[in-house]
Structure 1
């Protein structure tokens, strides 16, 4: 019996992309790391070509990373993948769901509608209103709608001089369509990454900051540690990820003196935190999960 051909959309050379492709190759004998920057959609023949490979003929596609950084142009790539998905190629995760999470605002609104506790959040286009929010909250994080790993985020506090705040807000607005502002919460130097596969809980790791940065991301010098959550905390993570239809994801959770809050649900999820923090090979688990899902869907194309 032929084994499924499952491609990986990702960033060639990046560890998370390559390790997932490695795990799939070991299971199926097929390997394809797909760079969306080099893909051609042929609408006249319903083909999505990556070199000589027609992605429409694959038995499945895992979207590990759709671009190096999030941007409005990322949504164009999602539309391209969505067309192939509608032709019957299983996508992990669904292109529509990924699109909902690429934009921070749409993802936040889904969590809000799902009754998931989050830090106090305000959105406005007006500088004067943004300035009032800083004073009301005391301390805020400005978050771009398209960003990962805290890139582009700015912390402002009511203690800063008025002129300094106005200048920071004006400069921020030059590169952003609106002010997405969250009240800062006390992290005690760490926050959590709760991993789910196919909607089922896998493990939880902590991102521990290096004390020289206000955020705990590895990009800013943090590191991973194992964390054992309570059943109540797992249920919070489960509730957050259930707002979306993701094959694999990480829910970012902070423990505060007001109770746990969810920062966001990742469109793709990470492997390194699970591996280094939990000693769990999430790439292997994901590859096996997708293989099983594809095999259950019926006749293989190749």
Structure 2
């Protein structure tokens, strides 16, 4: 069994000549996922099997599956439905986590109303929005996101989120979110067993920006229901910025009644006696130069 599993993992790490990624199922949680076979009957996705190409796969409620393939690791969350297409992954509903370990390769993700290209090394999560677009969040590393026919790429760093707008409207502005809330509340991150290296990386990145977002915004990013808008949800228990402790302010400077010069010297100023005028008086012969002393005329 171990030999067979090793062979399957090696096969999953290979990309065919057509650019398709073979997804090998590493883990199935809860009720797992199902797909419709040729007889249109629901068939469960089994561990150590490959996901079918061109078939709509649906993850059961309160369940999830984890796959690997060609330098990538994928997690498909609860109530997620998707299709493995030629050179792309079509996400119909739900959320996906992608852990990329391969520099230079590209992944194409299609939602009902938009399409993005993902490159870079790191961990990214994406979710289908009510408007048909995608919400993408970088958790670790450096992720580059492209949209439409443009070759330009938007860089996402940990804690940065962007919306891929529906109808080929491109990408929105980058938004910073609180990673501590994401890590603790997301099933894709905390609902699956994580390796020690991933745990340490998540712990370090959360510690690095733990308080910055809450003090600045005191809000969370909600869903995108319109084509160019998204919800901003206030955090009920957020501490107002005015309540945070700040450095003590020095007392304001008061102009003293004393003379400024006395304040500077620390004593009363004293006048020096007038110097004798050493300038040559009119009619007085100038003192001869040394050459004239040696060579008198």
TM-score range, shorter-chain basis? Answer: under 0.3
Q: What TM-score results when the alignment is normalised by the length of structure 2?
A: 0.25
Q: What TM-score results when the alignment is normalised by the length of structure 1?
A: 0.25
Larger Rg: 2
Structure in which a larger fraction of residues adopt strand: 2
Structure in which a larger fraction of residues adopt helix: 1
